[in-house]
Structures are given as structure tokens and as C-alpha cells.
Structure 1
Amino acid sequence: MKRILRLIALGALLTGLAACGPPKKSVFPPTVTIQEMSVRPDGQWQLTVRIQNNSYAGMEFHSLDGELKIGDGVPVRLHASFDLDIPSFAGDVTQINILPTNEMTTAIKTLAGKGSAGSLAYSLAGRANAKPEQEKVARDFNFHGNDWFSPVPGIPNTYR
């Protein structure tokens, strides 16, 4: 009788383990930064935004929705839709055009006058919409970061 109970328990255990499937990979919020900013002739800013996937799973990124704030000024809306499939621990870029405020335009002109010795603080905050590879639906991931713009030597109207 004990032997039959052991076989039943072993069978139930094996069935339970088979139903578990592969382990889920850990998913973490991405890091979103501005890799480069160029002032276009029409006054718009073209941002090259880098999305760094910090997860153990690949993710399909669909959109960014947030705001860019220069110094202590009024933020401007940052929004873009795209399709980027970013593997685990890798990054990719997308370009977003924004119309800066007068205050932002003045600040970047002042920075340009200082040359490569100048820098200008900015913050970037919002949500990135992405679908991790082991999930069925996309979800939002919050991001927030602070960094600096500095003129790129030899390339006018370009900042990194």
C-alpha cells in the first residue's frame, strides 16, 4: 500500500512540475535618455532618444509619452509612436521632433555661445509602452532621468 501511495505521489509531483513551464524572465523599467539634440532650421528640435532595455527578456517598444524640461523651465510634451524590438540588455534609438518654448530656445542659444565648455541641465520623465517577450499584452513602464546638454565641437546646432 505504501508503495502505491509513493507512486501516486511521485506521479502527481511530476505532473505538477510539467505544468510549470519555463521560468519567467525578470522585467525592469527601461532607461530613456537623449543621445543627441539638433536644432533644425525651422526652430524645431530633433531629439535622438535612446531606449535601453534593462530586462532579462527582450521587449517590443511601441511608444513614449512624457515631458522634457530644460533647467527650471516649463516642460514640453514628448510623444512618439514606433515599433522597436530591443533584445535584453541592449538599446536602440528613435527620433522625436519637438517645438521648444521661447525660454528653451534662449537657453540653448546661450549655451551655444559658451562653446564646448558650457552645459545645460535637462530632465526627461514619462512612460514607455512595451510588451515583454513572455507576456501577452503591452504595459507602461515609468522612466525618469536627469542629464546635461553640451555643444558638440565642430558640429553647429548639435548637442549631446
Structure 2
Amino acid sequence: MKRVLSVVLLIASLVALSACGPTRKSVFPPLVSIQQLHVTADGQWQMQLRIQNNSYDGVKFSAVHLDMKLHGVAAGRIDQPIDLDIPALSVDVAEVRIMPSAAAAKLLAASGNSVRYQLSGSATGQPEQSKKARTFKVQSQDTWLSPVPGIADTWR
């Protein structure tokens, strides 16, 4: 009887000790989309990337490496450092610029209506409770940008 009691006491102690360890918060890949695209006078695309942190922990994002397509046509590569410290379940915006491909620039200029785009690649960030940065896969589904009424060369 004493042996059974000591085994039960040992198991209960181990369970209690394991509950005392630090809790780890779940970290999930961010959602990345284009909040606004503006065509500058020199033909570059100035974009506001909307980065949504879906994690239960804050993440300090340091870079994005994304391939952009416009109606399935390669538009360009967004390969830039960023400096965003986004709290848990929050959103922030990063300013980026690219020189689009000739085909994508022509497609955007000819479109008087909405345009479909996709982003694929990765975002690098360091969760608050982590000692090193992680690379998160980014893959947006078909998303649309529409011309902004009254503001030339701008889509949201």
C-alpha cells in the first residue's frame, strides 16, 4: 500500500512541476496583403504592405521576400528589410517600392477596373519569446486592388 501511495505521490509531484514551466505562446505565419499601391512619376510602384500578426505573441518583423503577380503575370520581387514590431493579433503597415516588370506595368495602366494579385514568398520575424528569428511562409490567395476614386494612379 505504501508503495502505491508513493508512486501516486511521485506522479502528482511530476505533474505539478511540469505545470510550473514557462508557457509558450502559439506563433503562426502572418497574412500579408497590399493595402495601397501608387504608381510614382518614374514608374515605380510604391506600396503599403499590410502585415497581420496572427500569433498569440508579438513578433518583430525584419524583412519580406515576396514575388508579386498581377493577373498571373510576374510583376516583380519585393525583397526589402522592414522594421515592424507587431503586437499579438495586430496589424501594421510597411512601405516598400519595386520597379514592376514592363508587362505588369502595362497591364495595370490599361486596367480601368480592379486588378487581381498574388504574393508568395516569406517574411522574417522574431517572436517575443524566441531567441532567434524565424522565416514564415507567405502565400496570399487571389486578392483584388481597385482604383481609388479621385486619386490618380492609386489602387486599394
TM-score, normalised by the number of residues in structure 2: 0.88
Identity %: 42
Amino acid at match of 2:137: N
Structure 1 window deviating more from structure 2 (147-156 vs 74-83): it is 74-83
Match of 1:134 among 129, 134, 143: 129
Q: Give me the CA root mean square deviation.
A: 2.2
Structure 1 window deviating more from structure 2 (78-87 vs 3-12): it is 3-12
Q: 1:147 maps to what in 2?
A: 143
Structure 1 window deviating more from structure 2 (42-51 vs 70-79): it is 70-79
User: What's the secondary structure of 1:80's corresponding residue?
Assistant: strand
Any conservation in 1 of the 2:125–2:134 contact (CA below 8 Å)?
Answer: yes
Shift of 1:13: 2.9
Shift of 1:5: 3.9
Distance across 2 between alignment mates of 1:89 and 1:151: 29
Amino acid at match of 1:31: L
Moved over 2 A (4+): 1-18
Shift of 1:73: 1.3
Distance across 2 between alignment mates of 1:73 and 1:14: 56
Deviations 1:18-54 (A, max 9, x none): 7x42221111110000000000011100010010000
**Structure 1 alignment gaps of length 5 or more:** none
Structure 1 window deviating more from structure 2 (100-109 vs 45-54): it is 100-109
Q: Which structure carries more helix by proportion?
A: 1
Alignment of 1:11-160 (within 5 A): 12-13=13-14, 16-17=17-18, 20-111=20-111, 114=112, 118-145=113-140, 146-160=142-156
**Structure 2 alignment gaps of length 5 or more:** none
Aligned residues: 154
Shift of 1:78: 0.9
Amino acid at match of 2:40: R
